[in-house]
Structure 1
């Protein structure tokens, strides 16, 4: 088994980036979901209600995040800043989080793109967000602005299995970007990632956090922001959670037990 692709999503809910290698720290993949767009109450804005977010392009340099959107000049904000104003934000069940405000210029730009009041916030020194699932998380396990866990892993075989089901129902196959994984693995059977428990990828050991229940974002074309019924309609026929039948699962969440290192496309993947 090999690591066949790495994806980071600099801004929660916006377009991601494919990279050949990435550093890993306590929060997950460096640069992954270290920024978030929030409403005036500090709640996250996502593609669930705002599919247009898929059209916001992201680029990272060593010092800056750059956002782009068709028909508008791009805007850049620093990845780190001294003395930034702190805002209290939340991410689903995690509340009271302290994030750094990225300023009025970014807020005006995003509010115009989304046609919705919005501000951009960034993870800084004051931010700490524990992984809340006590059955799999230790005190040292923290997470960024990602939904619940630092990493999402999906195998190429799982997508191939889903696409075979879709084509059998007369629907078009879907690309991997519908599921916004961090790590893609080749060389295993479909849904093996659900059964690994602990796995070593290159120099890092990961621990399974549980299945990823999928939402309407998977029905959003990540290049056009258009929505349709798939893949949720088909996943519901064979990927319902045995303990929570209202959930349909695709992909497995993971926590990095190794809190520092580097992942590279081509790294060997072994169950430990």
Structure 2
């Protein structure tokens, strides 16, 4: 595939009825060039949407927002260690006890402060699959 470059500016086109997980609403449409690139790559009609924010689930984080993340942008908890190349971490913390992040009230990175655990959530099974063998398991 050719390289797709998307400007880091807010798209001018807004699409209605975009849905991610249980959420549905409006989102910014990245336009025809991005749509064609993804459609060609995936072999079916596709669009690339972006959102600034959407409300977090009220039962877990009232008055907070997230983007297109599945509920929350940061999650933790692995039952067994796996190589870093098995998933795309947002944040990596060294010298932390296993599941230590479950007890954090907040995390500060430079001047940015993130609220700690809102609720525990399950992790995707994908990191447990060895990419070289296709075998599920943490080894």
TM-score normalized by the length of structure 2: 0.78
The verdict on how the C-alpha distance between 1:146 and 1:86 changes in structure 2, with shifts beyond 3 A counting, is: same
Deviations 1:28-47, CA, capped at 9 Å, x for gaps: xxxxxxxxxxxxxxxxxxxx
RMSD over aligned Cα atoms = 2.7
Following the alignment from structure 1 to structure 2, what is the Cα–Cα distance between the partners of residues 212 and 83? 35
Aligned twin of 2:65: 142
Stretches of structure 1 lacking an aligned partner (at least 5 in a row): 1-71, 164-173, 235-272
Higher relative contact order structure (alpha carbons within 8 Å, sequence separation ≥ 6): 1
Aligned twin of 1:91: 20
Aligned twin of 2:56: 131
1:132 CA drift (Å): 0.3
1:194 CA drift (Å): 1.9
1:110 aligns with 2:56: no
Aligned twin of 1:44: none
CA contact (8 A) 1:153 1:183 kept: no
CA contact (8 A) 1:153 1:182 kept: no
Stretches of structure 2 lacking an aligned partner (at least 5 in a row): none
1:229 CA drift (Å): 1.4
Q: Counting strand residues as a fraction of each chain, which structure ranks higher?
A: 1
1:228 aligns with 2:135: yes
Q: List 4+ stretches of structure 1 deviating above 3 A.
A: none
TM-score normalized by the length of structure 1: 0.43
The number of aligned residues is 136
Aligned twin of 1:77: 6
CA contact (8 A) 1:110 1:119 kept: yes
